[in-house]
């Protein structure tokens, strides 16, 4: 994740940003300057090995995928550092939601939409 | 509160929904005074943009009065009359610092959806599917405005509500295209589409120094608005072959800059249109690039094309050979309104940009479904249907 602040602001005194600190030993975290005046690159690597191939797809679909947690934590950390808050959208006003198959798919996809960009 | 909701393909209905709440400290709640239809809504209504849900509140081009202010808001107070940019941007990320506000990293709470579709997540937008954040829209009595210090702009005293309304989307979108297309003084600019965005792009082109601006459409009332309120030339594509006529008007060169303000549901009179329609209805291609193809063909070699019309997915039979061999610059964007809206409001106040004429129909919110039907079918000379939730 690239963050529009310098590395000392992203990890002051090498403190891991809150959302990533919550993942504890699941990840190792490091920060370094991004080229071209773009701020910092914050990296979080899963300590355990990642699933590959069919197991990878299955893990993503299951909703219980540590990679999604890491990605979501990185996005949260970025927003907290750049803006001070994580942008919320729920609850939002809406009309009747009749249960439909496509509606269910959109709802499921949206629930995972703070995670990785490959659903 | 009452709100106009999408309920199915080409169906809308006014429903009673919860009032919006302050969710982040940078939010304001706006009492909506005016909220207008936009051509890009038609793609939502028609089911061409994925991740809509029945019950979503529509409307992304609006202005109103602040009624509640979040704890971290500094530039607004209760009672302020503001116009709000359709795109939601934080002002703090790198993209915002580069004034590429529709690409904001922090405006979209559902980034994985557009990251999957397009490779990167773009910013958030009011009422433009869950892929762009799932924010409730402004065809309602009240709307929640996130990052209000960035996205809500005070309306100068000399500017009416109706004039300011189009500074939310149509005018800044037009400016984004004209500005980023690289118009140099003396250029000839051709704009495909005489709707709100096309008209505003044409006006922006003129104010940015283009010597000759031609707007292309088939609807007489829209072409008349261009002549009367924008001051540009017009071209009716049902009367004249566009490529030939543009060559005729430019000494055989073609326009220096072409701006496409039509989007994924383009209409045309040729056989290619039938092909595109069929493929789109069969969902074998998601977008109809009819006007885009014509612009690529018409543009002078070495010229520039800007895609302002909304596209969502994939197009077929795309003349990439023409682009590559003619040495063209092709660029596109959603509006970077935060960059332009204050300047646009000043120009409206100074009489340099006319926007009120776009509001051909002003209706109470209860007539929302009728408004969209009229707008979609271009009935009764409709250019924009504007809703007044208070009525």
CATH number, position B184? 3.40.50.720
Instruction: Please report the pLDDT score of residue A119 as a whole number.
Output: 43
Rounded average pLDDT over B207-226 = 97
Q: Is the minimum CB–CB distance between B52 and chain A shorter than 8 Å?
A: yes
CB contact under 8 A, B136 and A92: yes
Res. A33 pLDDT band, cuts 50 70 90: very high
Residues B267, B39: contact at Cβ < 8 Å?
A: no
- Contacts of residue A83 in chain B, CB cutoff 8 Å? 26, 90, 92, 106, 147
B197 shares a domain with B292:
yes
Q: How far is CA B129 from CA A103, B45, B76, B126, B372, in A?
A: 12, 11, 28, 8, 17
Structure tokens at A56: 């990878």
Out of A5-14, B274-283, B370-379, pick the least confident: B274-283
B20 shares a domain with B101:
yes
Number of domains present in the structure of chain B? 2
Residues B54, B175: contact at Cβ < 8 Å?
A: no
CA atoms of B19 and B2, how far apart (whole Å): 9
Percent of chain B with pLDDT over 90: 88
pLDDT tens track for A53-100:
777 777 777 777 888 889 999 999 999 999 999 999 999 999 999 988
Q: How far is A48 from chain B (nearest CA, A)?
A: 23
CA atoms of B373 and B74, how far apart (whole Å): 40
Structure tokens at B362: 């002003």
Res. B380 pLDDT band, cuts 50 70 90: very high
CATH number of the domain within which B116 lies? 3.90.180.10
Domain boundary at B296, B312, B332, which?
B332
Higher pLDDT, B358 or A59: B358
Instruction: Please report the pLDDT score of residue B285 as a whole number.
Output: 65
Considering only the beta carbons, identify the residue of B15, B133, B134 that sits closest to A96. Answer: B15
Residue B68: domain span: 2-169+335-388
B197-207 exposure pattern, b = at least 16 Cβ within 10 A, e = fewer:
bbbbbbbbbbe
B257 shares a domain with B215:
yes
CB contact under 8 A, A103 and B54: yes
How is B230-249 classified by DSSP, letter by letter?
I--EEEETTTS-HHHHHHHH
Domain boundary at B295, B312, B332, which?
B332
Residues A89, A16: contact at Cβ < 8 Å?
A: no
Query: How do beta strands B81-84 and B61-69 pair?
Result: antiparallel
pLDDT tens track for B125-183:
999 999 999 999 999 999 999 999 999 999 999 999 999 999 999 999 999 999 999 99
CB contact under 8 A, A113 and B113: yes
Closest-approach residue (CA) in chain B for A114: B110
B325 shares a domain with B345:
no
CA atoms of B363 and B14, how far apart (whole Å): 13
Percent of chain B with pLDDT over 70: 97
pLDDT at B212 over 50: yes
| Among A115, A15, A34, residue whose Cα is nearest residue A74 | A115
CA atoms of B235 and B198, how far apart (whole Å): 13
How is B92-131 classified by DSSP, letter by letter?
-SHHHHTT-GGG-TTS-S-HHHHHHHHSS---EEBTS-GG
| Among B196, B134, B159, residue whose Cα is nearest residue B385 | B196
Mutant choice from A9, A89, A101, A109 vs B, greatest count of B C-beta within 10 A: A89
Please report where in the chains the tokens 């994740």 appear, as a residue.
Answer: A1
Residues B390, B161: contact at Cβ < 8 Å?
A: no
B350 shares a domain with B271:
no
B250 shares a domain with B144:
no
Stated pTM of the model: 0.94
Residues 112-151 of B with CB under 8 A from A: 112-116, 119, 121, 124, 130, 133-136, 140, 144, 146-147
Rounded average pLDDT over B85-103 = 98
Considering only the beta carbons, identify the residue of B17, B25, B136 that sits closest to A85. Answer: B25
Q: Is the minimum CB–CB distance between B384 and chain A shorter than 8 Å?
A: no
Closest-approach residue (CA) in chain B for A119: B116
Rounded average pLDDT over B95-111 = 97
Q: How far is A57 from chain B (nearest CA, A)?
A: 14
B186 shares a domain with B161:
no
pLDDT at B15 over 70: yes
pLDDT tens track for B253-291:
999 999 999 988 777 766 777 777 777 666 666 777 889
B347 shares a domain with B328:
no
B148 shares a domain with B244:
no
Mutant choice from A95, A106, A118 vs B, greatest count of B C-beta within 10 A: A95
Q: Is the minimum CB–CB distance between B109 and chain A shorter than 8 Å?
A: yes
Percent of chain A with pLDDT over 90: 58
CA atoms of B36 and A65, how far apart (whole Å): 42
B275 shares a domain with B359:
no
Mean pLDDT over the full length of chain B: 95
Instruction: Please report the pLDDT score of residue B284 as a whole number.
Output: 62
CA atoms of B37 and B22, how far apart (whole Å): 25
pLDDT at B86 over 70: yes
pLDDT at B13 over 50: yes
Please report where in the chains the tokens 């940078």 appear, as a residue.
Answer: B26
CA atoms of A25 and B246, how far apart (whole Å): 65
- Contacts of residue B112 in chain A, CB cutoff 8 Å? 71, 109, 112-119
Domain boundary at B332, B351, B369, which?
B332
Residue A114 neighbours by CB under 8 Å, 6+ apart: A71, A72, A75, A76, B109, B110, B111, B112
CB contact under 8 A, A85 and B26: yes
Res. B334 pLDDT band, cuts 50 70 90: very high
Considering only the beta carbons, identify the residue of A91, A109, A117 that sits closest to B121. Answer: A117
CA atoms of B195 and A71, how far apart (whole Å): 41
Rounded average pLDDT over B54-58 = 97
Counting every residue written for chain A, the total comes to 119
Instruction: Please report the pLDDT score of residue A15 as a whole number.
Output: 93
B229 shares a domain with B98:
no
Counting every residue written for chain B, the total comes to 391
B212 shares a domain with B118:
no
Structure tokens at A15: 């403190």
CA atoms of B95 and A81, how far apart (whole Å): 15
CA atoms of B305 and B260, how far apart (whole Å): 8
Asked if residue B103 has a cis previous peptide bond (ω within 30° of 0), the answer is no
Considering only the beta carbons, identify the residue of B17, B115, B130 that sits closest to A117. Answer: B115
């Amino acid at each position: 994740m690239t963050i529009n602040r310098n590395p000392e602001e992203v990890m002051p005194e090498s403190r891991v940003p809150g959302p990533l600190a919550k993942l504890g030993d699941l990840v190792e975290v490091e920060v370094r300057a991004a080229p071209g005046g773009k701020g910092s690159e914050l990296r979080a690597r899963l300590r355990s090995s990642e699933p590959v191939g069919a197991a990878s797809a299955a893990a993503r679909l299951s909703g219980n995928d540590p990679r999604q947690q890491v990605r979501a934590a990185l996005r949260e950390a970025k927003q907290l550092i750049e803006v001070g808050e994580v942008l919320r959208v729920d609850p939002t006003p809406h009309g009747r939601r009749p249960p439909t198959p496509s509606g269910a798919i959109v709802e499921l996809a949206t629930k995972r939409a703070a995670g990785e960009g490959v659903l | 509160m009452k709100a106009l909701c999408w309920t199915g393909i080409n169906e809308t209905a006014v429903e009673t929904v919860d009032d919006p709440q302050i969710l982040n400290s940078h939010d304001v709640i706006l009492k909506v005074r005016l909220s207008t239809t936009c051509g890009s809504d038609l793609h939502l209504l028609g089911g061409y943009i994925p991740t809509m849900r029945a019950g979503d509140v529509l409307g992304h081009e609006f202005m109103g009065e602040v009624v509640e202010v979040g704890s971290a808001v500094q530039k607004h107070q209760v009672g302020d009359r503001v116009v709000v940019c359709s795109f939601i941007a934080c002002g703090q990320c790198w993209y915002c610092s580069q004034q590429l506000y529709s690409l904001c990293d922090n405006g979209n709470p559902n980034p994985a959806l557009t990251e999957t579709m397009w490779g990167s997540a773009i910013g958030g937008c009011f009422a433009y599917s869950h892929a762009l954040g799932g924010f409730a829209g402004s065809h309602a009595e009240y709307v929640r405005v996130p990052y209000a210090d960035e996205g809500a702009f005070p309306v100068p005293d000399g500017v009416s509500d109706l004039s300011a309304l189009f500074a939310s989307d149509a005018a800044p979108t037009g400016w984004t295209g004209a500005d980023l297309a690289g118009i140099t003084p003396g250029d000839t600019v051709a704009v495909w589409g005489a709707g709100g965005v096309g008209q505003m792009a044409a006006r922006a082109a003129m104010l940015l120094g283009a010597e000759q601006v031609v707007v292309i459409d088939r609807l007489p009332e829209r072409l008349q608005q261009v002549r009367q309120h924008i001051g540009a030339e017009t071209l009716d594509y049902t009367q004249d072959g566009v490529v030939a006529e543009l060559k005729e008007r430019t000494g055989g060169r073609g326009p220096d800059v072409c701006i496409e303000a039509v989007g994924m549901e383009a209409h045309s009179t040729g056989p290619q249109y039938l092909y595109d329609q069929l493929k789109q209805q069969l969902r074998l291609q998601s977008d109809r690039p009819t006007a885009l193809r014509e612009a690529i063909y018409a543009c002078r070699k070495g010229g520039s094309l800007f895609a302002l019309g909304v596209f969502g997915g994939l197009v077929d039979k795309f003349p990439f050979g023409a682009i590559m061999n003619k040495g063209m610059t092709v660029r596109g964007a959603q509006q970077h309104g935060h960059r332009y809206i204050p300047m646009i409001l000043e120009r409206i106040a100074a009489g340099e940009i006319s926007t009120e004429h776009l509001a051909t129909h002003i209706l109470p919110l209860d007539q929302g479904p009728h408004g969209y039907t009229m707008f979609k079918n271009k009935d009764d000379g409709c250019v924009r249907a504007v809703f007044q939730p208070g009525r």
